[in-house]
Structure 1
């Protein structure tokens, strides 16, 4: 013989299971969302760093378009590239011009966490001469 209240046991179990599910979802969100936000920020910083290198390569290509140009024209060619600042220009031999460039990039992106921003900067040295060998970019610490 069955006594009353059998339905209330199922109701209590259902409510307890629902409460447990809500608590677990809340804990998962509290732990997971910051990890996802950090990962998203890290990816944005990596993209900014890659763009710094790409911008430096673009400046190098513009400088090598006319390697026999003088210091003033080489400075103008590097300054014309967005994000590039020429720190120093000097002669490094009779026909070689040495440039120190600072490349700065700011990347922004919309995500489910709102707007995220990453700034990246690096300095590069480049010796441009009319010789046949294209010079390599040398990454240096930026002067303080």
Structure 2
């Protein structure tokens, strides 16, 4: 008989090593999957937030293209952009001030199934008669 056991001792050591490897892989998977899912969701949320800003910039460009238009036309121009809801339109000495809300919903397929993210932002834009257009202002959204 050899020192350290025979065939059964080697088999027992291999089984023990294989079991330990399976346990480590299972624990690693159980820890890593939720972290990856959260990271994927955060990435989708950031994409939705960037699209809110891009939609607001497109709306601003459309509004500033016709600075001398009446209030109703400016409202229609803003609402023609997908995802934009005009909240208020006010006229004053500086021009017409529009406050609008932009809503974006993003859906993406991932290894974790379908993920959905929604983002909302409120903005104000003054469409004036001057040569220098006012900047787009981000506002807190009313509840």
* Same topology, TM > 0.5: yes
Deviation sequence 1:39-81 (CA, Å, 0-9, x none): 0000000000000000000000000110110100000000000
**Aligned counterparts of 1:42 and 1:142: Cα–Cα separation in 2:** 21
Unaligned runs of 5+ in 1: none
The Cα shift of 1:2 comes to 3.0
TM-score (norm 2): 0.96
**Aligned counterparts of 2:77 and 2:139: Cα–Cα separation in 1:** 21
1:20 aligns to what?
20
**Aligned counterparts of 1:82 and 1:92: Cα–Cα separation in 2:** 27
- After TM superposition, which residue ranges in structure 1, 4 or more long, deviate above 6 angstroms? none
2:58 aligns to what?
58
Q: CA RMSD in A?
A: 1.4
Tell me the secondary structure at the aligned position of residue 134 of structure 1. Answer: coil
**Aligned counterparts of 2:2 and 2:78: Cα–Cα separation in 1:** 89
Alignment of 1:22-41 (within 5 A): 22-41=22-41
Deviation sequence 1:109-135 (CA, Å, 0-9, x none): 000000000000010011101211122
**Aligned counterparts of 2:142 and 2:42: Cα–Cα separation in 1:** 25
Q: 1:2 and 2:16 equivalent? A: no
1:49 aligns to what?
49
2:78 aligns to what?
78
Number of matched residues?
A: 143
Deviation sequence 1:76-104 (CA, Å, 0-9, x none): 000000010000001021x6000000000
